[in-house]
Structure 1
Amino acid sequence: MKIPNLLPLIPLAFALQLPAQAAPQPLSHVPTSIAMWPGAQYDSQIPTIEQILGYKIGERITSNEDMLRYFDALAQAAPERIKIFNYGQSWEGRKLIYAVIGKPETIAHLEQFAADMQTLADPRKLNNQQAKALIDKLPSSVWLEHSVHGNEISSTDAAMMTTYHLLAAQHDAVIDKIFANTLVFIDPLQNPDGRNRFVNYYYQSVGMVPSSDRLSVEHNEPWPGGRSNHYLFDMNRDWLAITQPETAGRVSALLHYKPNIVIDLHEMGGDSSYFFVPAANPFNPHMNQAQIANNTLVGKNNAKYFDHFGFDYFTHEVFDAFYPGYGDSWPTFYGASAATYEVASARGDSFRTVTGNTITYPQTVQKHFVAAIATAEMAADNRQKLLSDFYQYQQQAISAGKDDSKERTFIIPAVRDAAGSYKLATLMAKHGVEVQQADKPFSACGKDYAAGAYIIDTAQPRGRFVKTTFTKQVDMAQDFLKEQERRRARKLDDEIYDVTAWSLPLMFNIDTDACGKAVAVSSHQLTADTPLLGKVTHADAKVAYLVPWGDMAAGRFLTAALQAGLTVKSADKAFVTGDNKHYPAGSLIVEVKANPENIAELVNHIAHNSGAQVTGVDSSWVSQGPSFGSENTITMTAPNVAMAWDEPVSSLSAGAARFVVEQEFHWPVTAIRSDKLASANLSHYQVLILPSGDYSSALGEAGATNLKTWVKQGGVLITFADATRFATQPKISLLDVQQELAYKAPPATAEKSAATPSKNGADDKDSKDNRVPGQLLKSNAELISAIENDKETPDNVAGVLANVEVDQEHWLTAGVNPQVVSLVSGHDIYTPIKLASGKNVAWFADEKHLLASGYLWQENLQQLAYKPFLIYQPSGKGMVIGYTEDPTSRAYLDGLNVMLMNTIFRAAAHATPLR
């Protein structure tokens, strides 16, 4: 039935009474601002945030662009007291800056300050009297790092307020004291890409009135959230590997000025209060007591101001000082006193806590601002002490190196893995470590080394950094470990905050030797940008060019050659050419007749850019192993690689995996939203990577069926960590292995005791009141046994480095060393795959040799021995390859990169789809 148009029947008089349409109302924000520093008098010549950006401090979450605009305005208003420097660019092209604030004469001669700090940092170049003269004239210095996590938003606005207050406050004894004694460096935004992701989402989601409810949409970011940068890295964990350009720029700037105090300002859960130093146990043993004492002085000065303002805070209960790869710990090892500050986050304009209180964005900004001023005052009050402690740190580092009779000098032979050794050596140079490269062969501590070996003497100012990153084992304090074992026995969570192992040579799988004395040899100092040059021997080869497989130089040669459209073969097994030269399994063969006429020019160009060592041959004769035309010599393909993206993927795992493939392997990746994989036609792709994540809801049984069909048609499915757990689920059955429960040793045979349940004459199954037989418990041990969970998973592991044995007779591990090292974390342990289904291609070492570094619970150590790390399961024309741990974690497990390249490129070549 047609509904008649009733609008003409509305009386005109009534229509005239309707209100006029209101103009759109701007989104409301926090209605009131806060006096950030009550009673402060400000110079009107210094522009306020409101004058430049149109809102008062804390009334809006400032974007990266507006932050830059405000700092430019401050620099124009007070050029004699503030300078702004670019220190890099984010992946998405956003500018990274730091500001330096100080008295005019220091700002005018800033490079002289940097030069003086470099001199003070090296006691080998001056005596104590000269050092004292520098200490008497130099200002102390504070570096304030803000918002390394993009959704920890308040510190960037606090950075703006801190800078304004320092420049504009008048008749303020604290500010006068800071200018008289201290330089303040402010990095206002370490992660602009992540912040913009958060800010854009927040203002797209917020309603007419911002909600303080933690359930509201603006308080729940979609995947991946704003915490990470473009490649989804937690950049607060990137200070060891320095994989991201943002980190590299900060490291360079800090090494240039070597500020005395470095503070990293963060946010934590909104139900907490505020954290500052002292840090929690354990402390890294390569810190010294003066640094710890200075952090306590920082904390006490913060406490003075927090008490004055009435701010709650806590210290030393969490956030330890053990792992050296944070923004608040890395500076420790050039001699700074470094710390983290954490404020309870509003994650927007306001947040209602579990106690019913509401915290507002301006309040969080104010707390960080007050802590920053308090820290700068501490640096001003302790100028001479901080500089003296800094100088003494360098002296102690050099002395500790000279006194070490076992590990005075580390030597990287650079024979087995030239590309990996080069990367490790240049990484240390990037960290400011002095690295020498031998110009000729030499002997040290009874061992001979070829020219080109890298030498690191720990008797240098950065010696303690070398010790904490090159020593295989850095121990936590025994009393701390004893307490963790006590907590485990009580079924309480342990207090280990992050990984307990980070030895760079182990993670790079690079052989290093330690020598207990200085090494004297003709050498030159390596720089961070020294290139690794490739070489082609016999460049006008008539038959083929051979590239030994086993390092990333060869890996980058392969990807460049495939992208250039060259035909490349790879030997499944090792071979020996007619001139008696040995080539490992996986070695590349570029045949002249199968490629363009300018192949010599192309090979030379690719070798030069990749660092690969290439040898031309005029004969294809092979005396041992597969010939160039053997079935054991496969033709490599250029696979289209896809990767699962978005929920439920771990954003950190996805980001690291994509980074490694794209930026380390130089191969493009197509990211596909996980739920699309359940029904998508994947025939365009030869390889699909599932980073760590629980895919049960996104894929489920239907998605698993789709993947199985694709694999059988020739696809290569690669799973990492939690994705491997998904693949092993009975209803999914992509991998024929099972996740193990914790192993429980059978109880010792004992006489029947009073603890044995007694029968009451009735079967408890039939008991109407649901009672069970009684038992007597005589000790805490019996209590623990009585409450034990029979279906318990192994205890969670924070993160250790474990030795992995590698099958040397499988094409999937061609060119991979017999032993590699993996990070082990979490609690997943798997049964070995049966031969009927596949192959355990790599497995954890035996109990005695399994732990390479870190602290591992004894029960986990015993159960993990001989369990699989890399699983291969063929299916139809394709295969599933499962890693039981994440091989790309934090992109710092370089020693696993050749294995991962094999599982992408060699696996794609071994799959047999219709071509």
Structure 2
Amino acid sequence: MAFKYKPIVCSFVVSALFAFSPSLFATAVVTDKNINADNTATMWPGSQYNAAIPTFKSVLGYDVGERITSHSDMLRYFDALQQAEPQRIKVVEYGRTWEGRKLIYAAIGNAKHIADLDGFAKNMQQLSDPRKTNKNTAKELIGQLPSSVWLEYSVHGNEISSTDAAMMMAYHLLAAPNEATNQKILNNTIVFIDPLQNPDGRSRFISRYYATVGLQHSGDRLSAEHNEPWPNGRSNHYLFDMNRDWLAITQPETAGRIKAMNHYRPLVVIDLHEMGGDQSYYFSPSAQPFNPHMTKTQINNMNTIGKNNGKHFDRFGFDFFTREVFDAFYPGYGDSWPTFYGASASTYEVSSSRGELFKKHSGENLTYLNTVQRHFVASVSTAEAVADNHEQLLNDYYQYQVTAIEAGKNNKNGRVFIIPNERNKAGSHRLATLMAQHDVDVFKATEAFSSCGKQYQAGAYFIDTAQPKGRFVTTTFSKQVDMDSQFIKEQERRRSRKLHDEIYDITGWSLPLMFDVDVEQCAKPVTVASEVVNSDDKLLGNVSNIDATVGFIVPWGDMAAGRFLTAALLQNIVIKSADKAFVLDDKQQFAAGSLIIEKRSNDADLAAKIAKIAEQTGAQVVGVNTSWVTEGPSFGSDNTVNMIAPNIAMAWDEPTSSLSAGNSRFVIERQFNYPVTAIRTAMLKSADLANYQVLILPSGDYKAVLGERGAANIKQWVERGGVLITLGDATKFAAEPEVGLLDVKRERAFKDKATTDTQAAKHADDEAMVDGQLITSKDSLIKASENLQESPDFVAGVLANIEVDQEHWLTAGVHKNLVAIAYGNDIYTPIKLASGKNVAWFAGADNVLASGYLWQENKQQLAYKPYLIHQPMVKGMVIGFTQEPTARAYLDGLNVMLLNTIFRASAHASPLR
């Protein structure tokens, strides 16, 4: 498909410039008088469009589906629609991206509904809480309220077609109000359109895509147009897959979106994506398994909408499929999170042209216009189904709230979750305020209380699941959410046949486990004086004895102390850290890792600085008048190290996993508040790293890019005093024999010895012929076909229990038991004591699984294998995580361990300073 060099305002030369330059193209002044809106007319045949409503061409200079619309042009177009028809569309900014781009949604409906959007939101809030709105009042509201649908587009920035479909959807509703389908929609429904969830990623994609285009577009999948450089446009600025950020809400895009949806509570939510270009179109019903805390009514409503989509796709002659992939089990997607406030929701996926043209394996040329149209048709069809069933959907929504409260009251595992808030104050505060951000009712006790025979101090948080968001609390706080037994049985059968399992994503996600927060349950409601927890509540820091004569101690062990450390280091405050626990003057006990700040080593305004940092970080600080230690290391001991402000480098670019790199950089920069320098991976082959004390290799296969030369350069830097930290797959690189950075090896799948010996005798690869054998059953055939060199079975992602060495300086202040994600099939041998130390390891086979579903063979082989490895190397060291501690930035419970590997490790290295 060639560029369309049609005259626009003057000459061929100008139009060619516009074709190659989105910024120039965006400034073209075009009117409808000299343009035929060919593409627009074919999108929904038979529609009569009002010429007063601005088209793509009149605003942007090109027709729908002719170009990939930029974020700025999308904003211009919605602004033009609002200026033309302010009574029927309202555009609202709901946030800004990390790069400062505006995030908007548009509400479209009839003039009455748009004029009273605030009233609509207020009434939906009433309908959302049967504790305040009885069934008679609810019935009145249901008779008055319109239904609502929230259509969210392009959460993955390189899934491009849905944003243009969103723009076409808005135009179609406004410009053809008398079209039969639109009449139903506008009379009965408010349509919310979030046209571009990931502006930063889309902008990255578009700039690179059009930079590769030559005289004409290439549909060849080998062309540069269809092969994005690192990092691709899927993720946002911090390289997050934002479709998986709905639990932890770490990104501003997600936070703004959740706030808006909690405000309006749309009844149906659709998340529109793209998939492989050789596929067709996917919509609901979803694949198995469903989250057991979803209701049959919600699933049935999506089936109804799916049938309506199928009707229209048949009319247009579009292929589609349902149920075969994209399950509804994990509650942290854009299409699953809304179900836990009562919406019916689903993902839609269209085959992607990943540009303006793509040649499918069938030989068909898939155009951008084709992908835009299918998403547009699905959008109209969904809105129509919502309008057709508006009263039923409103009634089902209210009943969801009623049954959610009842389910909480009858929760056999315990109605109330209680967070004691004693061991990990920062983590408990983070979890409590996060749940408030999800619009969960969370309370903080203002006095001590008793519940189910246990005593709790003032400051404990509690959440009663007998509330409208109770199912969300249950599914995110429970240690285990089980997949359907028949689904599991089928996966075990497939595995026995050496077929791939159908588990789509992680199977364990308990937030208290991931945050390392103690949570207990009680079957009875808590009655105690309390205050409501809000999402913006600040963690309060405290400095006792601000006039201390000797100095200050910050107890180590949570993120508040970690943020205190980074803030103090960046302000050049001199700090020590104790490798072991100690007792001061027979009175005060402090955990290993605790920070010691002596007045004699710092400026005269130290107390004021300490007070301000404590206030900013929420840290607890103790002023001390003596340095007399009666147990453990003294302030001047060799076991009390001087902390430094390390310069941190991170590998950036191929072959680094962009998700691992982005997640890790985000955790360090935005949760630890400490800067990271990103260095192109290839430069590590020969770069002089003397300016850096810490180098982090995020997950990735570095062998081809770094090779022996790069490994040697890094090794020399480590030996001179550098701290190398490897995450996930990067540990695989460090363990390669020719690399020699870690003295461990990956394991093959464990095989029963008798089976191994028999198979080895009968399947010697270097023999032309082997002895004959009898195969007497299908099971024997499978065993005879088995590959003796295979890796352990792949794990989609579970939460695994970790045990921590409490006597190593690298784990100072780290809880003895933690939870991490186990993903993939890499299992490592323990490091020998002659080389280093296994600092943390997976628990025994009977206890290794914390949450999720793990194959029995993996349980057995993973048991007691290393999670965190420390290997000294002359003046420096290598620290290897065998899994990723920063995955999705929601493993908050591992953050103190990660802080130690950066800051305590660099303090323990001994370079020439």
1:152 pairs with 2:140: no
1:279 pairs with 2:306: no
Paired AA for residue 904 in structure 1: I
1:899 pairs with 2:889: no
Match of 1:841 among 834, 839, 843: 839
Task: Identify the residue that residue 913 of structure 1 maps to in structure 2.
Answer: 911
Match of 1:392 among 399, 406, 417: 399
Task: Identify the residue that residue 580 of structure 2 maps to in structure 1.
Answer: 573
Task: Identify the residue that residue 8 of structure 2 maps to in structure 1.
Answer: none
1:523 pairs with 2:530: yes
Task: Identify the residue that residue 868 of structure 1 maps to in structure 2.
Answer: 866
1:506 pairs with 2:513: yes
Which structure 1 segments of 5+ residues have no match? 1-20
Paired AA for residue 305 in structure 1: H
Task: Name which of structure 1's ranges 820-829 and 38-47 shifts more when overlaid on structure 2.
Answer: 38-47
Distance 2:301 2:168 in 1: 25
Task: Identify the residue that residue 10 of structure 1 maps to in structure 2.
Answer: none
CA-CA distance at 1:33 after TM superposition:
3.6
> 8 Å contact 2:756–2:788 — kept in the other structure?
no
Q: Deviations over 1:570-589 (max 9, x none)?
A: 00000011151110000000
Task: Identify the residue that residue 698 of structure 1 maps to in structure 2.
Answer: 705
Distance 2:879 2:107 in 1: 51
Task: Identify the residue that residue 27 of structure 2 maps to in structure 1.
Answer: none
Distance 2:37 2:368 in 1: 11
Task: Identify the residue that residue 18 of structure 1 maps to in structure 2.
Answer: none
Distance change >3 Å, CA 25–CA 403, structure 1 → 2: closer
Distance 1:74 1:206 in 2: 31
Partner SS, residue 614 of structure 1: strand
Match of 1:288 among 288, 292, 295: 295
Distance 1:101 1:491 in 2: 51
CA-CA distance at 1:27 after TM superposition:
7.6
> 8 Å contact 1:764–1:771 — kept in the other structure?
no
Q: Deviations over 1:526-560 (max 9, x none)?
A: 00001111000000110010000000000000000
Distance 2:319 2:848 in 1: 45
Match of 2:667 among 660, 668, 674: 660
Distance 1:23 1:814 in 2: 66
CA-CA distance at 1:689 after TM superposition:
0.2
CA-CA distance at 1:38 after TM superposition:
1.3
Distance 1:333 1:208 in 2: 50
CA-CA distance at 1:771 after TM superposition:
3.7
Partner SS, residue 133 of structure 1: helix
Paired AA for residue 168 in structure 1: A
Q: Deviations over 1:154-200 (max 9, x none)?
A: 00000000000000014311111111100000000000000000010
Distance 2:411 2:175 in 1: 51
Distance 2:762 2:125 in 1: 77
Partner SS, residue 698 of structure 1: helix
Distance 1:795 1:749 in 2: 17
Mapping for residues 221-232 of structure 1, pairs under 5 Å: 221-232=228-239
Distance 1:771 1:612 in 2: 71
CA-CA distance at 1:774 after TM superposition:
2.2
Q: Deviations over 1:318-360 (max 9, x none)?
A: 0000000000000000000000000000001110001111110
Partner SS, residue 788 of structure 2: coil
> 8 Å contact 1:438–1:454 — kept in the other structure?
yes
Task: Identify the residue that residue 815 of structure 1 maps to in structure 2.
Answer: 813
Task: Identify the residue that residue 206 of structure 2 maps to in structure 1.
Answer: 199
> 8 Å contact 1:804–1:820 — kept in the other structure?
yes
CA-CA distance at 1:605 after TM superposition:
0.3
Mapping for residues 95-494 of structure 1, pairs under 5 Å: 95-494=102-501
Match of 2:880 among 871, 879, 882: 882
> 8 Å contact 1:46–1:168 — kept in the other structure?
yes
CA-CA distance at 1:745 after TM superposition:
1.1
> 8 Å contact 1:351–1:358 — kept in the other structure?
yes
Q: Deviations over 1:121-158 (max 9, x none)?
A: 00000211111000000000000000000000000000
Distance 2:357 2:52 in 1: 32
Mapping for residues 644-655 of structure 1, pairs under 5 Å: 644-655=651-662
Match of 2:642 among 632, 635, 639: 635
Distance change >3 Å, CA 140–CA 635, structure 1 → 2: same
When Rg is computed on C-alpha atoms for both structures, the one with the higher figure is 1
Partner SS, residue 565 of structure 1: coil
Distance 1:537 1:722 in 2: 45
Task: Identify the residue that residue 851 of structure 1 maps to in structure 2.
Answer: 849
CA-CA distance at 1:780 after TM superposition:
1.2
Q: Deviations over 1:368-397 (max 9, x none)?
A: 001000000001100111000000000000
Distance 1:606 1:408 in 2: 39
Partner SS, residue 341 of structure 1: strand
Scaled by the length of structure 1, the TM-score of the pair is 0.95
Partner SS, residue 816 of structure 1: coil
Distance 1:32 1:845 in 2: 64
Q: Deviations over 1:586-636 (max 9, x none)?
A: 000010111000101000000000100001011111111111111100010
Partner SS, residue 753 of structure 2: coil
1:707 pairs with 2:705: no
CA-CA distance at 1:747 after TM superposition:
2.6
Paired AA for residue 864 in structure 2: Y
> 8 Å contact 1:757–1:776 — kept in the other structure?
no
Distance change >3 Å, CA 126–CA 765, structure 1 → 2: closer
Distance change >3 Å, CA 51–CA 635, structure 1 → 2: same
Distance change >3 Å, CA 827–CA 426, structure 1 → 2: same
CA-CA distance at 1:39 after TM superposition:
1.6
Partner SS, residue 265 of structure 1: strand
Mapping for residues 15-164 of structure 1, pairs under 5 Å: 25-26=16-17, 33=39, 35-164=42-171
Distance change >3 Å, CA 389–CA 31, structure 1 → 2: closer
Distance 1:289 1:749 in 2: 48
Distance 1:808 1:97 in 2: 49
Paired AA for residue 741 in structure 1: R
Equivalences, count: 886
What CA RMSD, in Å, does the superposition of the two structures yield over aligned residues?
1.8
> 8 Å contact 1:146–1:159 — kept in the other structure?
yes
> 8 Å contact 1:27–1:207 — kept in the other structure?
no
> 8 Å contact 2:694–2:724 — kept in the other structure?
yes
Task: Identify the residue that residue 602 of structure 1 maps to in structure 2.
Answer: 609
CA-CA distance at 1:293 after TM superposition:
0.2
Paired AA for residue 908 in structure 1: S
1:783 pairs with 2:781: yes
Paired AA for residue 127 in structure 1: N
Distance 2:178 2:197 in 1: 32
Distance 1:422 1:23 in 2: 59
Distance 1:831 1:273 in 2: 44
Q: Deviations over 1:514-537 (max 9, x none)?
A: 111101000010000011110000
Distance 2:97 2:400 in 1: 33
